[in-house]
Amino acid sequence: MSDVASEAVVLEAPETTHDQPNMQITPSAQEYLKELLAKQNTPGIGVRIFVENAGTPRAECCMAYSTPGEEITTDEKIIYPDFAAYIDQPSVPYLKDAVIDYNKDRFGGQLTFKAPNSKVPRIGADASIEERIGYVLQAEINPGLAAHGGNVSLVELFDDPSDGLTAVLQFGGGCQGCSAVDMTLKQGVETSLKEHIPELGRVIDKTDHTKREGAYFK
């Protein structure tokens, strides 16, 4: 399932065997999953929730059946009234504020997954500068650029004799060929990166902006 925006619904806290991950399965989704699991004719069957390619732009939230006897001991277990949900332990931080919902429509309905933190990389205190730059780009900058269909990524980091530590970036999507990209780079991206990473001396753009087919501003 891909990330799909949906309105969060406050639930009564279910029973949990560990510290409860900060995610929700709405009442309508619980009811749908209850009916779906009942059709499997397997007593005790539950669901397992995990994030593939977590912390990257390719992150995808997934759900699978969890058959009794096949549980993974490190998973976080949340017990709902009619089934148990097993949360992949490494995926827990990426499922922060996630909401699983079920929306009925004329074709029946659709299970939707809103996971705003699934694409945000997690870094520790000993993270490299490259990892810190990647985190700022994904967590602080790309969400804003996404409004114009754009994105930016780190291509290279090197030490320049005159300008110091230099980050080379590449813009994509609606930012490639955009007439406002210089302003975006200087007033937005570079300023934000330097605020978070004081060691950074300069930020440059290596994007080929002659390709303007998808540019937001031409």
Sign of CA dihedral 141, 142, 147, 149: positive
CA angle 34, 35, 41 (to 5 degrees): 95
Confidence of residue 199 (pLDDT cuts 50, 70, 90): very high
Average pLDDT, the chain: 80
Minimal CA–CA distance to 55: which of 138, 120, 11? 120
Over the stretch 43-92, which tens digit does the pLDDT of each residue have? 999 999 999 988 887 889 999 999 999 889 999 999 999 999 999 998 99
What superfamily in CATH does domain 15-114 come from? HesB-like domain (2.60.300.12)
Over the stretch 96-129, which tens digit does the pLDDT of each residue have? 999 999 998 777 789 999 999 898 877 777 888 9
Q: Are 86 and 37 in contact (CB under 8 A)?
A: no
Residue spans of the domains in the chain: they are: 15-114, 129-205
Give the architecture (CATH level 2) of 129-205. Answer: 2-Layer Sandwich (3.30)
Global pTM reads 0.60
